[in-house]
Amino acid sequence: METKVGVFFCNCGGAIKNIDFDAALREVARLPGVISVNLDSSLCLEEGKERMVSSIRDEKMERVVVAGCSPLLKEHIFQGILEKAGLNKHLLSMANIREQCSWVHDGDVTAKAVDLVRMAINRVLLLQPVETKETAVSKEVLVAGSGFAALNVALQLSHLGLRTTVMEEGPVLRAGSEEPAAVYGVDASSIIAEVEANENVEVLTSARVMTLEGKVGGFGVRIKKAGKETFRRYGAIVLATGHRTEIVNPGAEAGASVVSQKAFTDILRNSSLEREPRTVGFILDFSDENSRFPTLATLNSALAAKKKWGSEIYVFYKSVKVDSEGVERLYQQARDSGVVFVKSETAPKIGVEDGRVKVEGRDVFAGEDLVLACDVLVAEELYLPAEGTETFSSLLNVRTDPKGFWQDDNVHLYPVGSEKKGIFFVGGCRGDLDPGRMLADISGVAMNIGELLSAGKVAADFERVKADPQKCVACLTCIRVCPHGAIQLVRVESSKDVAQISDLACDACGVCAAVCPAKAIAFQGYRDEEILAQIEAIKRS
């Protein structure tokens, strides 16, 4: 008995003009498998939907083709209609007779429209139902790193009722002390206290990840702390391992009075110098062009030094990047309070003259050389990924950008996702720092994970992409090729190892189905037969 297909044409309220729908309906009605053809003017609106649900039920349709606008716009609506009519939502195929037919060709395009419908029918006849299944997921989250970003993510997650483990390789939490949040204009003083008081957040210091397996919703992580290894399950992993800095050509002999931004904030906080520095110099943006942190750090430190010691402040700069939030205001404040900005093309020379740091630079605007002796010079720093980022990358099998930071800006994954579902990045470990955006990223990660895990279960297509254990020869190609690391080798009942695709981790790209040398992987909706059937339909047009 042939599969019963219902075809619904929608003229989109008259927006599809150059198609003779009567003729099209007549011709489509004759096609094999078609038991009902319908014309509507507003299928996606309420009444249209009602009519469609009842026709599907009354005529006992087993497959549905909708000829109208682009599936990218309305496919989910028609899938909902199928479900309402008691039909598996995957048994739908759409013919884009609006954007890809009526609107791009002049004159009558009825023939092409019928062609596109015939392609959709050929495909729909082969479609298989795909169930949705709920999978339990762990509501625990692992946060690697303990800087400002890491601890904030942990706090926000705990507010969503998710337990978090903050894992820090060092002996102590880094936010506040190591990473001077004040420099970046954020207050981190209370964050550690909040974290330690929050019973939803477990802190593991001098702890390291040894091995990692499994997929989103159930990462298996072996953590080593104080010589003991424990195995834990996590639904998601957040990497917030921050960054480290290296002073650029400090002028070795200048010695102690050339400091990093962090060191300068220590001096500011507990003025470890015997006497207060009368003149302070800053070097800004000569070698590391793209990071925004140096500008913000320089402005905050300059203002703080002016306020505390009233010292003379000179900033040798190539560029002052004020495009992130609130930085323009800081820059104006600095100038108003008397900070001198010296614009020069090349980095100034740093030397020593009677115990003070000598800075020689060329002031481009004044058109003359400037020699400055200052008590403290805050040198320029290169922003680099934290130590251990590579080992983490190989453990998680995620990629880094050429400079070693995580998640180069692939527009589809931007801003906090990685190519592996359930693994997120936030903060300094992503390179190009912008404090304003970092705060947005922190809530972005928390919201993503909350959405993913807070229900404790995730609904996903069940075995929409599946490797047939009979045909799989365990050649490992799909496992190595899958861009999302969603496939692993598992032993099935016949004591044979075969590829198993995780429904949660799979991002439905079909690369595995294309590379499988044994044609063992079926990707419902885009199986070879379903693609070749559309080519077959084109042949007869």
Partner 1 sequence: MIIAERKPIEEIRLMMAPYKKILVAGCGTCVTVCWVGGEKEVGILASELRLARGAEGRELVTLEATVDRQCEKEMLAELRDKISDVEAVVSLACGAGVQTMAELFEDKPVFPAVNTTFIGMPEGEGLWVEMCGACGDCFLDRTGGICPVVRCAKGLLNGPCGGTRRGGKCEIDAEKDCAWVLIYRRLERQGRLDLMREYRAPKNYRAVKRPGRVQAAKA
Partner 2 sequence: MNGKIVAFCCENSAYPAADLAGKLGLHYSENLRIIRVPCAGRVDVIHILKALENGAAGVLVLGCEEGACRHITGNTRAKERVEYSSMLLREINLDGRVVAMFNLSPNAPHKFVKAVNDIGNITAEPGR
Task: Give kind and range of the element (H or E) at residue 144.
Answer: strand 140-144
* 439 touches partner 1 (CB under 8 A): no
Residue 59: CB minimum distance to partner 1, A: 37
* 322 touches partner 2 (CB under 8 A): no
Cis, bond preceding 250 (omega within 30 deg of 0):
no
* 532 touches partner 2 (CB under 8 A): yes
CA 460 to centroid of chain Cα atoms: 20
Residue 276 or 408 having the CB closest to partner 2: 408
* 529 touches partner 2 (CB under 8 A): no
Task: Give kind and range of the element (H or E) at residue 246.
Answer: strand 243-247
Residue 311: CB minimum distance to partner 2, A: 47
* 517 touches partner 1 (CB under 8 A): yes
Q: Which partner in partner 2, partner 1, none is near 220 (CB below 5 to 8 A by kind)?
A: none
Residues 167-206 that bind partner 2 (CB under 8 A): none
Residue 387: CB minimum distance to partner 1, A: 27
Q: Which partner in partner 1, partner 2, none is near 325 (CB below 5 to 8 A by kind)?
A: none
Residue 79: CB minimum distance to partner 2, A: 15
Q: What is the dihedral of CA 220, 226, 228, 232, to 10 degrees?
A: -20
In the chain, what are the helix, strand and coil shares in percent, each to the nearest 5? 35, 25, 40
Q: Please work out the total of residues on this chain that contact partner 2, with binding judged by CB under 8 A.
A: 47
CA 349 to centroid of chain Cα atoms: 41
Q: Which partner in partner 1, partner 2, none is near 541 (CB below 5 to 8 A by kind)?
A: partner 2
- Mind spelling out the 3-state secondary structure of 329-375? HHHHHHHHCCCEEEECCCCCEEEEECCEEEEEEEECCCCEEEEEEEC
What single-letter amino acid sits at 448? N
CB atoms closer than 10 angstroms to residue 42: 15
CB atoms closer than 10 angstroms to residue 498: 18
What is the spatial distance between Cα 62 and Cα 467, in angstroms, rounded to a whole number?
26
Contact (CB, 8 A) for 453 and 130: no
* 511 touches partner 1 (CB under 8 A): no
Residues 471-490 that bind partner 1 (CB under 8 A): 471, 473, 475, 477, 480-481
Residues 410-469 that bind partner 2 (CB under 8 A): 410-413, 419
Q: Which residues of this protein are in contact with partner 1, per CB under 8 A?
A: 471, 473, 475, 477, 480-481, 516-519
Q: Which residues of this protein are in contact with partner 2, per CB under 8 A?
A: 70-73, 96, 98-100, 102-106, 109, 112, 115-116, 119, 399, 408, 410-413, 419, 481, 483-484, 507-511, 513-515, 523, 526, 528, 531-532, 534-536, 538-539, 541
